[in-house]
Amino acid sequence: MNSSDISEDLNVLLARFLDFLYLERNLSLNTVKSYRTDLNLFFAYVESKSRPSLRDVDQNLIIDYFSFARRTGLSHRTISRYLSSIRSFYKFLIDEDVVQKNPAENLNSPKKGINLPEYLTLEEVELLLSMPKENTVLGLRDRTIIELMYSCGLRVSEVVDLKITSADFNSGCILVFGKGKKERFVPFGEKAKKLLDRYIKWARGILLKGRISESLFLNFRGEPLSRKGMWKIIKGYARETGIKKNIKPHILRHSFGTHLVQNGADLRAVQELLGHADISTTQIYTHLDKGTLIDVHRRYHPLESGAVKRQPRPELSDPLRDHLKT
């Protein structure tokens, strides 16, 4: 293996590594695909540096790669994920007796800046919701999807996986399967309830075209709506609104979390609703915009609010003033 080409090593070993992640570590297919993408990018860089073997990858080369990644504008979070992928792959290679050392073992993840999620104002959410035409089959479907995503704070993958039996109209909750197939019940609002009821009773039957399907949301062919299809729907209506923000499906989830926290919701409750494993993930929704911070500062800081009266500065005598100038 010392003298073999890195691409030949990689084709076999990477396939075995991905099988290991999927079959033994029980990671999701999307996560496994992310590992594959991360590692293919890294080893394309390695080959560009004329390193002939997996054993020729050292700590300095990985550091150079991350410097290159930063110059291309990649975020700290993405670079941290790349490092994790490389470290895990080399740990696998050690376990398989392919290499003796893990070149990523002693490298620390770059410090993360505070990346506040972009979110929509309530007025912008209302504008986005007003775009689909409810008197058409696809318009009602789309309005229902957007309303449900904002009402429940759902991920795209969670909406795609919803079944016709997921919604319980009596309790006003929907059964959602989140990351790692963890299930949670999320309440949905009255607007979402009415839209969902109309969609199921009218639009969905038309979309089915006589077929049988367990999926709640269908495309115009009567097949389960895909993640890609969901993206196209949201992006299409986003363009119609004229809103300048980068509106992607996940922005509705961010808006849900932000609006709940800003209106006084308990952080633990928001964590449960969003299906976060760690409350530190939920804490990002405690951010405030600059306008709110300025208003709070003016209203509550004792010197700004007038709670403490400033005493006028005493006038200095001429000799003292002249002394201070020197």
**Catalytic machinery residues:** 155, 179, 250, 253, 276, 285
Contact 148, 188 (CB under 8 A): yes
248 burial (CB, 10 Å; 0-12 / 13-18 / 19+) is middle
Q: DSSP string covering 109-132, please?
A: PPPPP--PPP---HHHHHHHHTSS
- Are the C-beta atoms of 256 and 270 separated by less than 8 Å? no
Q: Identify any residues that bridge with 176 across adjacent strands, giving them in sequence order.
A: 184
Contacts of residues 269-278 at CB distance under 8 Å and 24 or more positions apart, as own/partner, are 272/184, 273/152, 273/153, 273/184, 273/186, 273/187, 274/153, 275/176, 275/178, 275/179, 275/182, 275/184, 277/179, 277/182
Contacts with 292 (C-beta within 8 Å, 6 or more apart), sequence order: none
Contact 120, 215 (CB under 8 A): no
- Per-residue burial over 91-100, b = 16 or more CB atoms within 10 Å of its CB, e = otherwise: ebbeeeeebe
